[in-house]
Amino acid sequence: MIDMRMEPRLVIRGRKVVGGVAEGEALVTRETISGWGGIDSTTGTVIESRHELRGVSFAGKVLVFPGAKGSSGWSGAFHLARLRGTAPRAMIFTVMTTKIALGAVVMRIPTVTDCDADPLDMIRTGDWVRVDGDAGTISIWDKRPD
């Protein structure tokens, strides 16, 4: 758990999708992610051939992205990642769909959307992020606070 005495660089407010609190290193992409056929659930790795994160694992990261694309298999693919321990710690997304909402629920990870600032503009890969799904807040540090 981070030392809450160190002030974050920024706090974004949004809407709870799934409650709970998690923190970790951010992994940011401006591209939607396909679940079925787009990720390897055993490693938590994006495998879409033309995706900017191809070969990168989201396991244990805070995934910041626009949302889901593809079939209704999205939630199933990400649910398998949760069962295998390779799911993200939390999610922040910008475009609400039934696919992404169901995926967040079955993964049971803190998830926030509908933010007062665009998280794709405000969060960088490597930032340390705390997602409080209950409060609907996203706290951002340049690096993990000691």
Choosing from 71, 72, 75, 139, the catalytic residue is 71
> Does the annotation mark 72 as catalytic?
no
Would you put residue 55 in left (φ > 0), alpha (ψ -120 to 50) or beta?
Answer: left
Q: CA 127 to CA 74: how far, in whole Å?
A: 26
Residue 106 tokens read as: 């079955």
Q: What angle do CA 39, 23, 85 make, to 5 degrees?
A: 40
Please state the pTM of the whole predicted model. Answer: 0.93
Contact 143, 121 (CB under 8 A): no
Written as tens digits, the pLDDT of the chain (146 aa) is 555 568 999 999 999 999 999 999 999 999 999 988 899 999 999 999 999 999 999 999 999 999 999 877 888 999 999 999 999 999 999 999 988 999 999 999 999 999 999 999 999 999 999 999 999 999 999 999 87
Domains in the chain, please, with CATH? 10-141 (3.50.30.10)
